[in-house]
Amino acid sequence: MPIYTADSMYVQGQVQTGWALWVEGDQIAQVLPVDTLTAEQKAQVIHFENGFLIPGLVNSHNHSFQSLLKGFCDDQDFFTWRDQALYKYSKILSRDDIYTGALFAFGEMLKCGITTVCDFFYINDQANENARAVIEAALAVGIRIVMARTLYDWEGAPTRFRETLPQACDHTRQLHAEFKAHPMVHVLPAPHSLHGASTAMILAGAELAEELDTQFHMHIAEGQYERQMIEQQHGKPPVAFLESLGVLNDRLVGIHCVWLDDAEIELMAQRGTGLSYNPSSNMFLGDGITRIREMLAAGVCISLGTDGGCSNNRASIIEEMRMTSLLQKVKFHDSTVTTAEDMFAMGTLNGGKNLGLPIGELAAGYAADFTVLDLNDLSMQPRQNALKNLVYASQPSAIRAVFVAGKKVLEAGQLLTVPEAEIVRRVQLTTASWG
Q: What is the pTM of this model?
A: 0.97
Residues 59-68 have a mean pLDDT of 97
Indicate the average pLDDT of the chain.
97
Please name the residues in contact with 262: beta carbons below 8 A apart, sequence gap of 6 or more.
294
Averaged over 98-116, what is the pLDDT?
A: 98
Write out pLDDT tens, residues 262-271.
999 999 999 9
pLDDT at 317 over 90: yes
Q: Are the folds of 3-56+360-415 and 57-355 the same?
A: no
Does the pLDDT of residue 1 top 90, yes or no? Answer: no
Distance CA(393)–CA(413), nearest Å, equals 18
List, in order, residues 6 or more apart from 234 with CB less than 8 Å away. Answer: 241, 244
Longest dimension (CA), the chain: 70
Select from 216, 162, 229, 209 the least CA-distant residue to 190. 216
What is the domain partition of the chain in residue ranges? 3-56+360-415, 57-355
Query: Residue 53 CA to chain centroid, in angstroms?
Result: 20
Question: For residues 234 and 100, what is the distance between their CA atoms, to the nearest angstrom?
Answer: 41
364 has a pLDDT exceeding 90:
yes
Residue 73 pLDDT exceeds 90: no
Which CATH code, of 3.40.50.300, 2.160.20.10, 2.30.40.10, 3.40.50.80, is assigned to 3-56+360-415?
2.30.40.10
Q: What local confidence, expressed as pLDDT, does residue 435 receive? A: 74
Residue 275, pLDDT score: 98
What local confidence, expressed as pLDDT, does residue 362 receive?
A: 98
CATH code of 57-355, in short, is 3.20.20.140
Residue 379: pLDDT over 90: yes
43 vs 240, residue with greater confidence: 240
At 49, which amino acid appears?
A: E
For residue 47, what is the enclosing H or E element? strand 45-55
111-122 mean pLDDT: 98
For range 3-22, the mean pLDDT: 97
Under 8 Å between Cβ of 163 and 174: no
Separation in Å, CA 379 to CA 335, 388, 391, 393: 22, 11, 11, 6
In contact, 311 and 301? CB cutoff 8 Å:
no
201-257 pLDDT tens trace: 999 999 999 999 999 999 999 999 999 999 999 999 999 999 999 999 999 999 999
Q: How far apart are CA 84 and CA 432, in angstroms?
A: 17
The rounded distance, in Å, linking the Cα atoms of 252 and 70 is 29
Quote the pLDDT of residue 117. Answer: 98
Work out the average pLDDT over 341-361: 98
Distance separating alpha carbons of residues 311 and 69, to the nearest angstrom: 9
What string of DSSP letters covers 92-155? T--HHHHHHHHHHHHHHHHHTTEEEEEEEE---TTSSHHHHHHHHHHHHHT-EEEEEEEE---T
Question: What confidence score (pLDDT) does residue 78 get?
Answer: 84
